[in-house]
């Protein structure tokens, strides 16, 4: 089992986000991000990429766009906080059902599941805390032997 502090997703650092902010707001409080010019960041999971849009001061909560290739999957993991996901394109499927384009799903803290995208997926997700991954995947996206 991986330690929660060893999340395999490569999280964008604050400087990269700051580098893609548009000019400072006239008044403090709003932060506009040039999302088109943010690079997609590879994760430890084949076919899954992300763009971190906002990292909260606690260092764990964040908002990100996720892009999953058709057939890509996330291994079994536990949500250490509430996760909220709005699917923009494609579908995201887990043990409880499918969330399709234009729909929203949120998961309770401490929920455990696997997820995959049979046809590819673009989604916007908000996490209260990073996930704890309970298994690893091989380079081809299948669960590794224990």
Q: In the chain, what percentage of residues exceed pLDDT 70?
A: 74
Stretch 140-146: mean pLDDT = 55
Confidence of residue 139 (pLDDT cuts 50, 70, 90): low
Half-sphere exposure of 138 (CA within 13 A, CB side): 6
Domain ranges across the chain: 4-133
State how far the Cα of 72 lies from the Cα of 127, in Å rounded to an integer: 20
Question: Contact at 8 Å (CB) between 140 and 113?
Answer: no
Q: What pLDDT was estimated at residue 56? A: 84
Say yes or no: domain 4-133 is CATH 3.40.50.720.
Answer: no
What pLDDT digit, counting tens, does each position of 45-62 carry? 999 999 999 998 877 899
Distances in Å between the Cα of 133 and the Cα atoms of 45, 103, 121 are 11, 25, 20
State how far the Cα of 65 lies from the Cα of 50, in Å rounded to an integer: 5
Q: What pLDDT was estimated at residue 57? A: 80
Q: What value does the mean pLDDT of the chain take?
A: 83
Stretch 26-38: mean pLDDT = 84
Q: What pLDDT was estimated at residue 32? A: 87
Tokens representing residue 131 in the block: 């996930």
Q: Is the pLDDT of residue 42 over 50?
A: yes
């Amino acid at each position: 089992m991986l330690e929660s502090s060893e999340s395999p997703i490569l999280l964008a650092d604050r400087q990269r986000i700051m580098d893609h902010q548009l000019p400072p707001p006239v008044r403090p409080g709003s932060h506009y991000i040039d999302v088109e010019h943010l690079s997609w960041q590879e994760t430890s999971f084949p076919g899954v990429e992300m763009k971190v849009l906002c990292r909260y001061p606690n260092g764990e909560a964040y908002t990100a766009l996720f892009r999953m290739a058709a057939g890509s999957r996330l291994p079994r993991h536990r949500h250490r906080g509430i996760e909220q996901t709005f699917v923009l394109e494609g579908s995201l499927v887990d043990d409880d059902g499918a969330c399709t384009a234009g729909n929203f799903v949120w998961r309770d803290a401490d929920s455990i599941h696997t997820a995959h995208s049979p046809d590819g997926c673009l989604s916007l997700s908000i996490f209260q805390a990073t996930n704890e991954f309970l298994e690893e995947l091989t380079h081809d996206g299948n669960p590794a032997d224990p």
